[in-house]
Structure 1
Amino acid sequence: MHRLAMVGVILVLLLGAAVPGFAQEDEPGTIAEVITAAADEGQFTILLAAVQAADPSVLEKLSDTEADITVFAPTDDAFNAVGEDELNAILENQELLTSILLYHVMEGAVGSADIADMDGEAVTTLQGTPIELRIDEDKVLVNSAEVVTPDIAASNGVIHAIDTVLMPPAEPVAEATEEAPAAGNTIADVVTASAQGDEPEFTMLLTAVQAASPDVLEQLSDPNAQLTVFAPTDEAFNALKESLGDEAFQALLDDEGKLTDTLLYHVVNGKVLVADITAAFESEENVDALVAQTLLTGNTLLITKDEEGNYYVNGAQIVTTDIEAANGVIHVIEAVITLPEAE
């Protein structure tokens, strides 16, 4: 425990001193004022825009002189890594934006040295769901986001700049329990049966699942899970193969890590039927897109709708909807959703 605490202290000294733009006055302002001042210097500009676009309660909390909170503040690079379309959709959806911002805030001012002593703890955020604080060698992590500038002081708490936007887990529409396990075929069973049927489909998806990390098959086979899978057809995989070329496509299948990430990028936590998607579009006026957090941590999908009422996931049209399984639902898509390019 003492070794971890020392790591935290070293990070404060090295990272805090190495990053310009966050010099602290003797008497810093509130977290809202610190973020505003940093934005004037070219830091936290998107975070400030997000706070201003969210429910006013977010700004009120960050401005509360009586508060004592910790904010994990994504850098501008972190927001830009979300992708332009996805980011715009989030900024235009006040309810979702507010939820995401509150997922970055916890009660109590927790410095980096304190986080070192909380290694592995799950802490509830103001959004209501927990984040995990961890130490990985010389890194302070919040879920999978790394703290890049710790201990930015404020009069009502502390700010830690992070390199990834934290996305709260989706709320499952239905949830199986250990006391009442789901019966019938799981998503893995449905995919396998389809691939082995008289008119085979999902043969290449099944091959990919079997070549990926065993964790993928375990999640799709878990009777207590509730998932939504956007499943590419064999034709979709063949189109990707033609686009990449035989050698590059085989390299993808041979790269377990990248293949696993690609498959997890097609899976959303919670059972989301097409009726749920329709209801979400109809719940507010002028909704252009929905954002869904995938099982690939920190990565989202953008669901859009055309004038004819067709739905698309990152541009891939959903061609068959609501193939239900004991642990979720499958929507068939006409293209493989490729991973976002690294910034």
Structure 2
Amino acid sequence: MHLYHSLCLALAGIVSSQSTQSLTDALNGQNSSLSTLNSLLQSTGLGPALNNLRNVTLLAPNNDALSALLNNTDAAATLSDTGALTALLNYHVINGTFYADSFGNSSVFAATHLTNESYANVTGGQRVEARASDGSVVFFSAYKENATVVTPNVNFTGGTIHIIDSVLTIPMNVTDTLSKSNLTAAAGAIRTANLEKVLGDLRDVTIFAPNNDAFNAIGNLAANMSTDDLAKILGYHVINGTVAYSTDLRNQTVTSSSGQELRITVEDGAVFVNAARVTIPDLLVSNGVVHVINQVLNPANSTETPDATATSAPPAFSGASSGTAGVPFTSGISTPTTTVPAATSGGGAATSSTSNPGMPMKTGAVGAAALFGGAALFANL
């Protein structure tokens, strides 16, 4: 379908704000900072389509942000693809009108107009994280890349515009995200267990991904682990059928994709899965969300209780210790060349850049699949 008509259908809404200016007029009024965006819209014929937006929040990258993207050779080539450009633009349109004062210190995971399953397998549209930080509103996308609002609340008949200083990065598939986030052992374990396609085919998942230290702590056992045993252990780290962001995690028991129960505990502001602490929440992926934890979970040992005072979690496997061959499962997995939050001790703003910033990548598979024969939802989520 032609890009104009495709975006028209994708961005149509039903509610208007009290402003009387069209989106085109609002964008033109900010031409000193949005001239690159305006030129892009004019060259693609998207202006009239965008004027049909209703009850939305448009995140508009400024000149510096878009120029950096367009000067990237790989990104420029991808932008010539109508589907990729549409996906990227749709990810910058949030359902609902969110003014700057709508955001506080707690994260909001707002649904966007990116619903094309070739790029996002999340029911209701791929999300973007937003919260107030140091007097500004910051949006977080893939790899915790951040975009700060530099000019808020440019209102138009269909909602409001926030001018941002970076192009959002569309969440990628699980293994690519783990690899680029320095969760190389988790990425390697998925590959070793031949689960890359299975995880990529799922729709709406929550994954608890152990960090490299956690895998290293069971290195002696990992060295002799069968593919089937590894697959069962990895399945215990996946909730299939629900995307549970950090704001959804609370005291409850849920069923993993391998069929065993996981206990979610919130204690003194920290979130635990069995005895494992969530160290970095909310790494957005194409089909859900990943939370980084500091222990490899054991499906045969689900009764461990968390210790909120501890800085690390002991192995959940008896007889486990560090191996002699380095961090397991990392052979053949590229170490990221930039620092992203999952490679550090905490979340928050990212300082990294990717080789293809802001650009969408097809998921490679559309639709859902059963994982390890099990599926479960968070109760009453």
TM score, norm. by length of structure 2: 0.40
Higher helix share: 1
Which protein, 1 or 2, shows the higher relative CO under an 8 Å CA cutoff with sep ≥ 6? 2
